[in-house]
Structure 1
């Protein structure tokens, strides 16, 4: 029998690590972002994530339930900043819809491609289709609907039938997310160049 009152194995750390300044949960998210985008999601074990974050695997489960929770939070983090911007642009009717749509496209691309890891590439994982990622899909759907509303508010979009509006929305939204793959193949090109060129192209697709 062990001695009573000894330190419990896997006890969560009480303090932040001084070398990073991040909370344990944020350390895990940072480690997962790096490993998922370099090794691949399927090839990354929870042990590897925990070790990269500087903790034992058992300690990791005090902060997250596992890889799926980490992936879901990382995916949502790629959409929520764009959604916040989209809501603001949709509400600001002092500027023409065409200008607001262009700004949303530009900002969205910069947010998708501007981080240290190409997290947008994780959208393509087959695992993301599961119910566990319903939160990500809900946020993404709201963002896409904002694109639809801005396209409909433009001079070119105001007269479109629903089917044509939906098609143009799908094409514009697909273009924005597709830039992730283009940027991955040409990482040295400034993100601002991708962002502005994509915004220009998106407006042409929208008929502006």
Structure 2
């Protein structure tokens, strides 16, 4: 293999043509992300090596380094993929001032749960990794904070926001509870992965609005 240690980035040259297409037919970069998601959630991030990810994806470790510099880069992209669609929706909902804020907040909650629980792997559980506090994950943390801020903006636009206009700490607390519930569904989903996700998402969104004291 061209390169050095198991975890060090080695992007030297172009991968051989016979290493570019795993058996699944997915592009190599996507196949590596699938493999990393499976191993990180099943075996644990710390216990997974880049060699194991490459082998699970059906390619050489040197080929993997052509696409990703190491485990942190794989994890960062996986984490960002769990936030980006919700953040895009949240930005649209924040601009849609013609609809009641409570309805928009409900829609964001429901969609967020669908994203966190609708995939084949429980990626939301990776939020709890201590490594996520590192510098490599700053972009993920900024994205997540912006999403949380839009949750609060929508909550602020409801009757509850007017009620708590003089109690910003109270508004922040309610938003923390709502946001914590939405992200916490990953633990419930992990305990019962067979639960229909669509019904689960709607029930969770209903519960979030009740916690916040908001009507749709």
Normalising by structure 2, we get a TM-score of 0.88
- SS at 1:62 equivalent: helix
Q: Which runs of 4+ in 1 moved over 3 A?
A: 13-16
Q: Cα gap change, 1:18/1:127 in structure 2, threshold over 3 Å: closer, same or farther?
A: closer
- Aligned partner of 1:196 in structure 2 is 202
> In 1, distance between residues paired with 2:22 and 2:51?
22
Q: 1:163 aligns with which of 150, 166, 169?
A: 169
Q: 2:40 aligns with which of 36, 48, 62?
A: 36
How many residues matched? 200
1:13 Cα offset (Å): 3.8
- SS at 2:210 equivalent: helix
The answer (yes or no) to whether the contact 1:10–1:56 under 8 Å persists in 2 is no
Q: 1:12 aligns with which of 12, 15, 25?
A: 15
> In 1, distance between residues paired with 2:148 and 2:199?
23
- SS at 2:67 equivalent: coil
- Aligned partner of 1:6 in structure 2 is none
> In 1, distance between residues paired with 2:176 and 2:55?
40
Matching of residues 112-123 of structure 1 within 5 Å: 112-123=116-127
> In 2, distance between residues paired with 1:158 and 1:82?
25
Q: For 1:38-92, what per-residue CA distance to the aligned partner results, in whole angstroms no more than 9, with x for missing partners? A: 1111111110001111111122111111000000000000000011111111111
Task: State yes or no: 1:180 paired with 2:186.
Answer: yes
Of 15-24 and 188-197, more deviation after overlay is shown by: 15-24
Normalising by structure 1, we get a TM-score of 0.91
Structure 2: 5+ residue stretches without partners:
1-11
